[in-house]
Each structure stands twice: as structure tokens, then as C-alpha cells.
Amino acid sequence: GGMEKIKQHTFTLAHYTYTVLSNLRYTNGAPVVRIYNDTDFSNPDVQGPIINFNVLDENGEVLGFSQVDSMASLHNIHVRTGCFCNMGACQMHLDISNEDIQRNLQAGHVCGDNIDLVDGRPTGSVRISFGYMSSFEDAQTFLNFIIATRLSKSDTEIPFQSVTKPTTEPVPDEHLSVNNADKLSPILQILDGELRNNPFETETTGSWQPLEPEAESIRAAVSETAVPTCRKGGKPITVTKIYLYPIKSCSAFEVTEWPVGNQGLLYDRNWMVVNQNGVCMTQKQEPRLCLVNPSIDRKQKIMVIQAEGMDPISVSLEDNAGKETVICESKVCSHRVKTYDCGEKIAGWFSAFLGRPCRLIRQSSDMKRKSHQKNTKGLSPATNISLSLVNEAQYLLINVASILQLKEHISARLKEPLEIEELIQRFRANIVIDAPESFEEEEWAEISIGALQFQVVGPCSRCQIICIDQQSGERNKEILQSLSSARGRKTNFGIYLMNQPLRSSFSDILSVGCQVLPVLKENTEIQPPTSSEEKCSG
């Protein structure tokens, strides 16, 4: 039918989606989205088939675009986020001043990162686009995703009363000019009388003031607990579990004590599996990676890899990056890393288990990644801190108290409650601690564990990997949705840590049972508890 038909088809889908989105409301009358647009979606000659928006909570606060992106990926929906290489439009619609841009940069925000909120204000937005292959079912899938993740069943009855089911009849001229013979796509027919009778305004770009306060939502119980300025006495904070992940995205290897090197726990994420194009494979693309169990035998200097139905296979811990080894370049979270291939035998093992061509590669010891984390007070510059094949930082720490509080809300939404150990495994931390207060770790600036000093470099924003059962590889979307609901505007859980490069050639030891001494963000040290229990010397 040519470009004119394509224009009509794609605009119809965008017009339908825009109309429904504009009318979605929480039970207190608050809009679910804020749409950024320069037209009223009435003319395809001036409005393309895209919708730019941010999702709001019941109080009118913006949910970060990274959280929306993570949730959309669980529903197999691809969205674009950020400022879309159009900073001028971003400034105009999000009301970002030049001074705000400078403050965002000082907060560590750069183009393409996941810092979606700074001081509660959005740094970008979400965009959906329709093409000639898009269908009405695609539009409904997206709308159902928004409804499923933001509204209860009773909420969804209101907005859909405002529109009829799309038909193949032409839309009135004031909306879109379509020939009667056009059967290319379902056409939305807006009933003007119904829209006029809608109790809510369709304009979503203005600021919204909340109505009468509703009952406390689920997130009230999982609040961002403030840590007292100084804790005296009480239960000591200790390390309860230590995990390393020798092969990125594969199963954890639990230890009771372990050497700490310049990149974090020794051998943590030194290897990764790549596809035939050399691209890193994670559980997002291949959940069965969690069924691969690597273990480190330091005495025999080998890593033993096991999986159900496969014979165990071993890989040397010795660095084989000699003159005859081909150094290849790979990417971890857009950062380039130097690696070398571990050989045909182990490549065949992984290919047989995963059912697709893949290879095992190891980070080259003379080509270490440098941290891109912003430098903060008290440690050497971040450029001097080396990373293995991790995504963000050397260590990830979680708190059992936080897990227990979250477990209550997840269990309430699931038919079968999750065990605490299963949740700990899903969050794939290196260090698990037992602190008295849930989420108090988010108020720490630094911690010491034994003789080791760590800098807190920020919260861990969770993705769909926590939806994967680490024992079976099965997905459950409810986990991330529960976390999002419980924690409000973010899916943060756990904190990232860095430690200074060791000044000696000897490794320090991190051990279960070591006492954890935090320093608050206000640089007020929490007093050690009065206890006969000795502090672990590491």
C-alpha cells in the first residue's frame, strides 16, 4: 500500500496507545504516566508513531526509566530510554536547566548510564515506537504491561470504558483521514461523548497534586530506613556468607574464608562465556548458566566445572596468556576488556551443555579494567582501582535483615513462599551480612571488615536476573515486580563496594564471622557494640 498506508497504520497504533495511556489512573485519581508531546495526536502529518513518557507512582513522583526498562524486558518489550541524543528536547520537556545538567554531571550522570533520577528528578524518559510490522496486539501487550505492573484489577476498569474496541471503520476526519477500503490495521474509534464525560483530564504534562491520602501502600513497610547517627551497644554486625562467581553469570561458589586481591575476591568473575560472535552471555539470554557450578581448588591450582548430565571438567588457574595465546577483545557493560580463549575442549563442553556454540574466555592478567566509578573522599582515585569481569564494582553486599523484610512482601504475592536461602542466591552477592536494621546499609559511606577497608560506591539497581531461580533456571516475573512495588520508585537492593589496591604482595583474608564496622554518609562512625565477641582480625 505504500508509505501513506504505513503512516496511517503506525499512527493509528500510536493514537490508540496514547489515548489509553492518557486515561490510565490510580484509584486516587493520579495519572499513571506523564506524556511529553507537542501535539494532541490528531494529525499524522505532524505527529510520528512514537510516544515519549515517564511512569508515575500514586503520589505523582516519577519512576526512573531504568526501572521501567527492567520491568519491560521481563515482558519481552523493548523500549528506549534516556534523552535520545536530543538534550534540548529533554531540557524543555523535563524542565532541566543548564545548572541542573552541571549538577547531574557532578552526581556522576553521563549519557547512556542508568542514573535515571537525581534528587528525585528524572534525567530522561521512556520512548516506545511503532513500525509497519507492529500490530494492535503489540499495542495491547504494552498497555497490559503498564496495567499489570502499576494497577490493580479494580483500577483497570476505569480507563477502558472511555474507548471502544478498535474496528476497521475509518476514524472521523478530525482524528485521521483513512479510506474506507483500508483494511491494513484495526482503527481506534474514539467516542467523543464518552471522552467528554471522562471525570479525569487527559492532559498529563502538567504537575499533579495528590488527592486525599490513601492507605499506606506495601512499600511503607519496606521503607528506606534511616540509620541512627551513632549506635551504642546492641547486636554486632557480622559477615554470615561469602560467595564468589568464578565464571560470570554461572553458579556461586560459597566459602568460609577467601583471599582478597587487587580486583576483589581472588578469581571472582575472572572467566566468562561468550557466543560465537564473542559477545558475553549472561542469564538474561541463557538462564541455564546458573546450572553450571564452578569451584576453585587452590591446592591443585584448578577450577572444576560441573553440571547435571555432564562429566566434570577442569581449567588451570595458571595464567596461560603467553606469547602463543591470542588476546581477544570483548565487552562487559559497554567497557572493552582484553581476554584470551581457554581452548577447544572447554568450549565443546559449554556448547554441548547449552546447546549452542560458545566459548570460555578469561581476562588477561596484564590488561586489567579500570573502575569508572566516581572518586569519593577517603580512597585513592577510582582510576587506580582495577576490576575483573564484574558489571559495576569489585563487591556486592546484601543484608539478611533487608532480605527478611522483602521476603514477607514477595511471599504475600506468591502462591508458595520463598525460602530465605533461595532469595539470597537470587541476589548474587559476594558478601552477606546480618545487621540489626533492614536497609541500613544504604546509609553507609564506608565499612571496615577485619583489616579491610571498603568504600560504598552506590546501590545496586536490580534487573531481571533476580527473577531466575538459581537452582532450576526457571523465571518468575513476580520477584522483580514485588521488589519494585515494595521499594517504591527504584529496584535497588544491596550496595556496591570497592577497596583500595593492596600495598603489599600478600593477600588479606575475608572470613565469615568477621565484624563489620560502618561509617555513615555523614562520616559519623557507628560505635562498635559492647560485646565480648572479638573483632575478626582478617
Q: How far apart are the first and last CA of the chain?
A: 73
Residue 196: the pLDDT is 35
Residue 502: the pLDDT is 53
Q: Which domains does the chain have, with CATH numbers?
A: 3-150 (3.90.1150.10), 229-266+390-521 (2.40.33.20), 270-365 (no CATH)
Please say whether the dihedral angle defined by the alpha carbons of residues 391, 396, 402 and 406, taken in this order, is positive or negative: positive
Rounded (to 5) percent helix, strand, coil in the chain: 25, 25, 50
Q: Tens digit of pLDDT per residue, the chain (538 long)?
A: 789 999 999 999 999 999 999 999 998 889 999 999 988 888 999 999 999 999 998 888 888 888 888 888 878 888 999 888 888 888 888 888 888 888 778 777 777 777 788 878 888 899 999 998 999 999 999 999 898 888 764 444 333 333 333 433 333 334 333 333 333 333 333 333 333 333 333 333 333 333 333 323 323 333 333 333 334 455 789 999 999 999 999 999 999 999 998 889 999 999 999 988 888 899 988 999 999 999 999 999 999 999 999 999 999 998 765 544 554 555 455 556 778 899 999 999 999 999 999 999 998 775 554 554 444 444 444 445 677 777 678 999 999 999 998 888 887 777 777 889 999 999 999 999 999 999 999 999 999 998 888 999 889 988 888 889 999 999 888 888 888 877 776 788 999 999 865 555 555 899 999 999 998 886 444 444 433 333 343 4
CB contact at 8 A, 8 and 184: yes
Residues near 433 by beta carbon (within 8 Å), at least 6 away in sequence: 237, 238, 239, 240, 397, 398, 399, 400, 441, 516
| Integer Cα distance of 337 and 363 in angstroms | 7
CB contact at 8 A, 205 and 185: no
**Helix locations, 46-110, DSSP H:** 65-74, 87-94, 98-106
Instruction: Write out the catalytic residue numbers.
Output: 85
Residue 155: the pLDDT is 45
Residue 183: the pLDDT is 33
| Integer Cα distance of 529 and 234 in angstroms | 6
Residues near 410 by beta carbon (within 8 Å), at least 6 away in sequence: 417, 418, 423, 478, 479, 482, 483, 486
Residue 117: the pLDDT is 81
Cβ neighbours of 6 (radius 10 Å): 16
- C-alpha cell belonging to residue 94: 523535563
Residue 372: the pLDDT is 47
CB contact at 8 A, 171 and 164: no
| Integer Cα distance of 279 and 359 in angstroms | 10
Distance of CA 252 to the CA centre of its chain: 20
For the packed helices 136-150 and 478-487, what is the interaxial angle rounded to 10 degrees? 50
3-state secondary structure of 447: strand
| Integer Cα distance of 139 and 123 in angstroms | 26
Residue 408: the pLDDT is 83
| Integer Cα distance of 162 and 176 in angstroms | 19
Does an H or E element contain 11, and which? Answer: helix 2-23
Q: Is the pTM of this model over 0.85?
A: no
